[in-house]
Amino acid sequence: MKKILSLFTFLLFISQAYSIAGFGLQVGQSMFSVEENSPTMSNELLLLTNGAFENAFNIGGYLYLDVIPVVDIEVDFSAQANTYNIQFENASGSMDPLDFGWASTDLYFTVRKKLFGFKIPFIAKAKLFAGGGYNTHTTTPLASEDMITDLLGGDINNDVSNLDNSLEDYLSDSDNYLTSSGYHLQGGLQFKLFLLDTFVFYRQVFVEDVIPDAKGFGSMNLRIGMGF
């Protein structure tokens, strides 16, 4: 019984202080909308339509350090994805709509600062925080005439019956992806119970070439991990 009480007292003491470091799982929902679009083609016998899609679930991890007196430093990474239909028609015929993937891997470096904190007596501490930083992204582009031409072996008018297999090969080749970087702002709540560390926060990302025809996107995020 004494050992249990000693352990509880130790954990309670830890819970009354913010962690100097932490890590864990991060999940979230990215919020954006991409409208159906038909890129301009080189001749009137070609028709390419990219279907609409919106939002994406993201999952990843995070690590933070609270060793500087004024601010915390953190890094987190995530992957997000969605699907949309491609419809294509050329002189040889047309194909049934194909599912194609949009995906992005994202890396964020953030400096954040406590705005104010408050206590839940005897149990936990919480604080509101805000911050910002730098981010990098690797993203699959939308289907285009150049992409379809490559997938058809260099001739846009080739038979389209095996285009679905070529699309799978395209998605597996990272050389086809776009790279970009930008900045972000975020704010939310950190809640600490014993060694359990939880964050709920909103992030606004300002970057091009991630979401088609957009200069950024927002996301709601949840972190669950350990703080020491």
Cβ atoms of 150 and 191 closer than 8 Å: no
Q: Is residue 193 part of a domain?
A: yes
Q: Is residue 93 part of a domain?
A: no
Query: At residue 183, does pLDDT exceed 60?
Result: yes
pLDDT of residue 13: 45
Residue of 136, 102, 130, 104 lying closest to 115 (CA atoms)? 130
pLDDT of residue 4: 45
Query: At residue 179, does pLDDT exceed 90?
Result: yes
Q: How many domains does the chain contain in total?
A: 1
Banded pLDDT at 2 (limits 50, 70, 90) = low
Q: Is residue 181 part of a domain?
A: yes
Q: Is residue 59 part of a domain?
A: yes
Q: Is residue 43 part of a domain?
A: no
Paired with 30 in beta bridges are: 56, 219
Query: At residue 59, does pLDDT exceed 70?
Result: yes
User: What average pLDDT does range 98-122 have in this prediction?
Assistant: 88
Q: Which domain holds residue 22?
A: 2-36+54-84+99-227
Query: At residue 15, does pLDDT exceed 50?
Result: no
Q: Is residue 146 part of a domain?
A: yes
Q: Is residue 44 part of a domain?
A: no
Q: Is residue 126 part of a domain?
A: yes
Query: At residue 191, does pLDDT exceed 70?
Result: yes
Q: Which residue has the higher pLDDT, 128 or 161?
A: 128
Distance of alpha carbon 207 from its chain centroid, rounded? 12
User: What average pLDDT does range 170-175 have in this prediction?
Assistant: 76
Task: Tell me the CATH number at 110.
Answer: 2.40.160.20
The pTM score is: 0.86
pLDDT of residue 28: 97
